[in-house]
């Protein structure tokens, strides 16, 4: 995905070229990290951490996201490339033996999908934000922190609304609407956003 913005900086017109790249790396039995890919769904074998002896969760999927950036100035164009990493950590994710069923696995996959959705929304925020050559790095970092907080709110809301997967109807609603959000590159209508996020709707 690519976008362009034109602005005046130091009395000189500069074109900002923002490029997003999704980081992918095949996982093996020896790797501890799974990078998000639509066709690569989670399996119970990926949950290699030690289960917690207490708490409401029968399984935990440790997912998060990060980015690496670099820039190149050529003439009047500043090209900013962001490599986006959406990942799952095997050693930090766990499941209790009695919880290994397809429904519970779908719940954990949704946690991973929500993280991906937040990254799509992160992209959209940056596309809608004016960047300039003097402080673009700080602006991107700020939006990243805001998106990271959004991810935590949504993950919490998902577990609260579904009662950690105990409410199948609520889980189906989240699945359908997260999928719509992913298809729309993170862009969702106001009504859909309210319905999905409820009281936890991000601002």
How many C-beta atoms surround the C-beta of residue 28 within 10 A? Answer: 6
Query: Tell me, what's the pLDDT at 199?
Result: 45
Mean pLDDT across the stretch 99-105?
A: 97
- The model's confidence at residue 35, banded by pLDDT at 50, 70 and 90, is very high
Mean pLDDT across the stretch 139-153?
A: 97
Residue 82 CB burial class (10 angstroms; 0-12, 13-18, ≥19): buried
Q: Give pairs for 129-135: CB < 8 Å, separation 24+.
A: 130/5, 130/7, 131/5, 131/7, 131/16, 131/18, 131/80, 132/7, 132/9, 132/14, 132/16, 133/9, 133/14, 133/16, 133/73, 133/78, 134/9, 134/10
Query: Tell me, what's the pLDDT at 180?
Result: 87
Q: Which domain holds residue 129?
A: 2-200
pTM of the model: 0.87
Query: Tell me, what's the pLDDT at 12?
Result: 63
146's tokens: 């805001």
- The model's confidence at residue 72, banded by pLDDT at 50, 70 and 90, is very high
Q: Could you give the number of structural domains in the chain?
A: 1
Query: Tell me, what's the pLDDT at 31?
Result: 94
Q: 157-190: per-residue pLDDT in tens?
A: 999 999 999 999 999 999 988 988 898 888 764 4
CA-closest candidate to residue 61, choices 102, 109, 93, 98:
93
CA distance 84 to 108: 21
């Amino acid at each position: 995905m690519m976008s362009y913005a034109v602005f005046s900086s130091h009395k000189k017109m500069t074109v900002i070229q923002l490029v997003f790249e999704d980081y992918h790396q095949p996982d093996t039995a020896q790797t501890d990290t799974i990078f998000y890919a639509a066709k690569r769904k989670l399996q119970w074998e990926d949950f290699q951490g030690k289960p917690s002896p207490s708490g409401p969760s029968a399984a935990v999927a440790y997912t998060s996201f990060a980015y690496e950036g670099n820039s190149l100035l050529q003439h009047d164009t500043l090209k900013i490339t962001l490599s986006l990493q959406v990942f799952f950590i095997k050693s930090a994710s766990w499941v209790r033996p009695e919880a290994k069923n397809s429904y519970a696995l779908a719940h954990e996959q949704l946690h991973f999908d929500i993280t991906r959705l937040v990254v799509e929304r992160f992209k959209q925020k940056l596309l809608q934000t004016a960047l300039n050559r003097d402080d673009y790095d700080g602006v991107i970092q700020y939006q990243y922190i805001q998106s990271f907080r959004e991810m935590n709110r949504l993950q919490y809301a998902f577990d609260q609304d579904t009662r950690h997967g105990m409410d199948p109807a609520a889980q189906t609603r989240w699945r359908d609407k997260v999928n719509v959000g992913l298809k729309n590159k993170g862009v969702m209508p106001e009504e859909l956003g309210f319905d999905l996020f409820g009281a936890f709707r991000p601002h």
